[in-house]
Amino acid sequence: MESTGASARCFTVPGWFARLEVMAQPASSVARKASKQSAFVITSRENRWLKRFRAALSGERGDDGIVGVEGVRLVEAALGSGLTVEAVLLSDSGERHLPRVARVLPADMPVLRTSDRLFGGIADTRAPQGMAALVRPRQATIETLLPGTALIVALVGVQDPGNVGTIVRAAEAFGASGVATCPAESIGTADPFGPKALRASAGSALRLPIVHGISPTVLLAQLRINRVKAYAAVAGAEQSGDRASNVQSPLLSPWEADWTGPTALLVGNEGAGLSAELVRAADARVCIPQAAATAPVGIESVNAAMAASVLLYEAMRQRNASLAKHP
């Protein structure tokens, strides 16, 4: 530890070689408690902590799997999730949010401070709130998603991060046991831990088990082994007929499907949907009826996130009704 005077102390963080100064403690008792932790000031954009935050908040994931979360709500969700949080970063203006997260801030959590200007240079949002964290997501496997009466959402080639995050959020809200993301041939599914997907999930991706990047063939094999029924979400008989011309499985409305047992919902790419092979491999197809179009060019179908939300709600409704009958 170096000393530069009575009012300031400087530290070197092992392995990071960063010169860090302890800031004055906030006035409120809650924030003052948090400020007694490892609270350091970062004054250079070349600081290694700041570089690590910059990379993580841009969506880069290193070998350690660490992801960046930005904003008070996501940082609070990360701290309350039980996941490993390596550090919290606050800007000058972000200090005002410290009391909100102080109750879930571990006593030994490194709290780093920086200026609004430097924070703005690493932020992924246009109007940053001045708070971010480095988080290590849980490592999930298919077995992680199976305990109890499984309800798994499998995203196959869902490219839009907003759709991925919204579906993860709906999965948690409607009682799913977890999410699996799969590539669709050359089309990958957006990373559920990417910045836009994380924001769209409102923190659900930090709480719900997620298996990312599993082959759909491997997934279906695991579902069969564990006697999990697979429903393929399709746009409807008229839209999906050509794509799955030899399908023998039934085409069901959401309320006709039985969601009360171990179940997986397969959701396909926004434009192409699920491949014919996956549709044929599913136990049944499920589609959401729509009102007749009132104009020559009407709505083709609800989007992937909306469809998944409707189907997951029906699954929750049936399961709650079943529990009410057989408590």
Whose CA is closest to 267, among 185, 152, 186, 148?
152
Find out whether 63 and 55 touch, Cβ atoms under 8 Å. Answer: no
CA 6 to chain centre: 45
pLDDT of residue 61: 84
How far is Cα 243 from Cα 232, in angstroms, rounded to an integer?
A: 13
Cα dihedral 68/74/76/79 (nearest 10) = -40
Contacts 24+ apart (CB under 8 A), 254-257: 254/286, 254/288, 254/310, 254/311, 254/314, 255/314, 255/318, 256/286, 257/231, 257/284, 257/286, 257/314
pLDDT of residue 14: 43
User: CA-based diameter of the chain, in Å?
Assistant: 80
pLDDT of residue 8: 39
How far is Cα 52 from Cα 61, in angstroms, rounded to an integer?
A: 10
pLDDT of residue 292: 65
Find out whether 49 and 119 touch, Cβ atoms under 8 Å. Answer: no
Residue 142's SS3 state is helix
The one-character DSSP state at 93 is G
Q: Hey, what domains does the chain have and what are their CATH numbers?
A: 2-136 (3.30.1330.30), 142-325 (3.40.1280.10)
How far is Cα 76 from Cα 33, in angstroms, rounded to an integer?
A: 17
Interacting residues of 203 by C-beta distance below 8 A, sequence separation 6+: 73, 74, 76, 77, 78, 81
pLDDT of residue 261: 96
Which residues of the chain are under the pLDDT cut of 50? 1-32, 35-36, 238-244, 295, 297-299
- Global pTM reads 0.82
